[in-house]
Structure 1
Amino acid sequence: MSEQESQFLLILFGGIFFAFLMSVFVVAMVFIHRQRQVQNRQKLDQIRVEHEKTLLNVENEIQQETLTHIGRELHDNIGQLLSLAKLNLHSQKPEKQAEGKEYINQIIKEVRALSKTLNLDWVESISLDEFIQQQLEKIKSTGYCETSLSSDGSFLELKKDQKLVLIRVIQESLNNAIKHAHPELIIIQISSNQAFRKIEIIDDGAGFDITQQTSGSGMFNLKKRMETINGSFNLTSVVGKGTHITLELPF
């Protein structure tokens, strides 16, 4: 075999070997890419499941609070109205009977109003600003503390899942302030810039040491819930000087 033939065979086998290596490399890259696609798909499915689970928990909690509110209204408000209606309707005096009929009309209105809250349709029928205003008015009407709301209207347009999470987080934040902070004033401020919408919940109550909060605390759960709607939850507090909660949601 001549030297030229040897070189030709060497080049040929070298080319075949290089082509083989390239084929192996391409197959390996395709395999790795598909593996990553599968992993990413699994991660997306997991995120979707966690998001749906969080929303279901939020809906269940809001529904439970709604049922508790309805039970309280049936016992304290409508029960009392029924007793008054019964007393007046059994009276022999025409004016008392007329008053009893007025109580019946009032009871019908109260029952209709309560029936609307048995499902979550009210979430879509009310703006976040209106919900916050109602919550603050309830707190103030009890004489517990003063409240204040200022808003630029930046949360008027929200998806249902965003509104559900925000409603629950705000409810829980206000409940924590009432139970633990004993404030004289609760302020909620709603504002925005080009990138974010922001809700600030501020109280002048007892405050607490945030370093004592654990991963299993309620505040941690609120933070995780905000993350499900691509938002953030931040809290600062000073013992004796109150608590400042900031909820941010990108446009």
Structure 2
Amino acid sequence: MQENGGFILIVSTGLILIIVIALIILFTTFQNKKNILVEERKRTKEEFERTIAETQIEIREETLRNISWELHDNIGQLLTLAKIQLQSATAEDIQEVSKTITKGLTEVRALSKLINPEAMSTIDLRDAVQLEIDRFNRLNFIASTLEISGQERDIEQKSSIIIFRILQEFFSNTIKHSRASQLKVSLAYSNAELLIIAKDNGVGFSSEEKKEGIGLINIKNRAKLIGAKVQFNSEKNKGTALEIHYKL
């Protein structure tokens, strides 16, 4: 009986040791995986913050390029025209000179909204897109419209920055490469998502063609950071459309 009792004790002790060792291994494995997950989350957060910072810089650079162009070509031309008008102006011509100067002041006020760093760091998606649309129309780049439908809802600030940069890239390609005469942008709000569609009536491209400069991979990677999905639809000589699906 004592031998049986001793055997049972040894077996029991062995089983307990095995269970303890297994628990230690499981706990260690769990802790290691937890630490790896924490590190991955930290890296993801750092990458996200870095991308946001880079995107803000890109937006500012694009905005400053636009401002530089407008100062040189648009406002510069208006001031030159006003100077020429003044040199040969009569009393009857003063009204035309006044109109030219007023137009120049309007352009300067529009630029002041874009150059404000605080405005760019607290960007509102609708206002930012509207400023771009207004600029295209003001400078006769392309006939542009913005349509809003559904009940507007607040969008997380960093998501707004990413979405606006994606649209900015699309706008840039439309103006530089599409030879389009019209650009239509719509923001459609629903309970589940915000659907953004930007469409031009330019030359488009077929699925077999490689569209240089469109930056599709870059755009998709940006969208992925905020849990959004993007899709390009294009047909030869029928324009290009960009769809952004952002979950609210």
Q: Could you say whether these structures have the same fold, taking a TM-score greater than 0.5 normalized by the shorter chain as the test? A: yes
- Taking a change above 3 Å as real, the CA distance of residues 49 and 212 of structure 1, as seen in their structure-2 partners, is farther
Query: Contact (CA 8 Å) 2:82, 2:101: kept in 1 or not?
Result: yes
Corresponding residue number in structure 2 for 1:231: 228
- Taking a change above 3 Å as real, the CA distance of residues 155 and 62 of structure 1, as seen in their structure-2 partners, is farther
What CA deviation, in whole Å up to 9, does each residue of 1:72-113 have, x standing for no partner?
23323454566577779999x99999x999998987776666
1:186 Cα shift? 2.3
What CA deviation, in whole Å up to 9, does each residue of 1:135-194 have, x standing for no partner?
234334455543333212555522221111111111111222223322343222221333
Aligned with 2:191 (options 184, 188, 194): 194
Aligned with 2:118 (options 95, 116, 121): 121
Corresponding residue number in structure 2 for 1:138: 135
RMSD of equivalent CA atoms: 3.6
Quick check: 1:157 aligned with 2:139? Answer: no
Q: Using the alignment, how far apart are the partners of 1:182 and 1:107 within structure 2?
A: 28
- Taking a change above 3 Å as real, the CA distance of residues 211 and 30 of structure 1, as seen in their structure-2 partners, is farther
- Taking a change above 3 Å as real, the CA distance of residues 246 and 100 of structure 1, as seen in their structure-2 partners, is closer
Q: Using the alignment, how far apart are the partners of 1:45 and 1:26 within structure 2?
A: 28
Secondary structure at the aligned position of 2:184 is classed as strand
Aligned with 2:55 (options 50, 58, 67): 58
Q: Using the alignment, how far apart are the partners of 2:53 and 2:3 within structure 1?
A: 74
Q: Using the alignment, how far apart are the partners of 1:233 and 1:168 within structure 2?
A: 13
Superposition map of 1:1-251 within 5 A? 4-80=1-77, 114-123=111-120, 127-152=124-149, 154=151, 157-210=154-207, 212=209, 218-251=215-248
- Taking a change above 3 Å as real, the CA distance of residues 212 and 155 of structure 1, as seen in their structure-2 partners, is farther
Q: Using the alignment, how far apart are the partners of 1:44 and 1:243 within structure 2?
A: 36
Query: Contact (CA 8 Å) 2:125, 2:161: kept in 1 or not?
Result: no
- Taking a change above 3 Å as real, the CA distance of residues 120 and 224 of structure 1, as seen in their structure-2 partners, is farther
- Taking a change above 3 Å as real, the CA distance of residues 156 and 138 of structure 1, as seen in their structure-2 partners, is farther
Query: Contact (CA 8 Å) 2:150, 2:190: kept in 1 or not?
Result: no
TM-score normalised per structure 2: 0.80
- Taking a change above 3 Å as real, the CA distance of residues 228 and 146 of structure 1, as seen in their structure-2 partners, is same
Larger radius of gyration: 1
Unaligned runs of 5+ in 1: none
Q: Using the alignment, how far apart are the partners of 1:201 and 1:159 within structure 2?
A: 21
Q: Using the alignment, how far apart are the partners of 2:35 and 2:80 within structure 1?
A: 65
TM-score normalised per structure 1: 0.79
Secondary structure at the aligned position of 1:161 is classed as helix
Letter in 2 for 1:47: T
Query: Contact (CA 8 Å) 1:63, 1:119: kept in 2 or not?
Result: no
- Equivalent residues, number: 247
What CA deviation, in whole Å up to 9, does each residue of 1:44-83 have, x standing for no partner?
1111121112111211111112221222233234545665
- Taking a change above 3 Å as real, the CA distance of residues 248 and 138 of structure 1, as seen in their structure-2 partners, is same
1:24 Cα shift? 0.5
Q: Using the alignment, how far apart are the partners of 2:139 and 2:101 within structure 1?
A: 26
Greater Cα offset, 139-148 or 221-230: 139-148
Letter in 2 for 1:170: L
Unaligned runs of 5+ in 2: none
1:218 Cα shift? 0.6
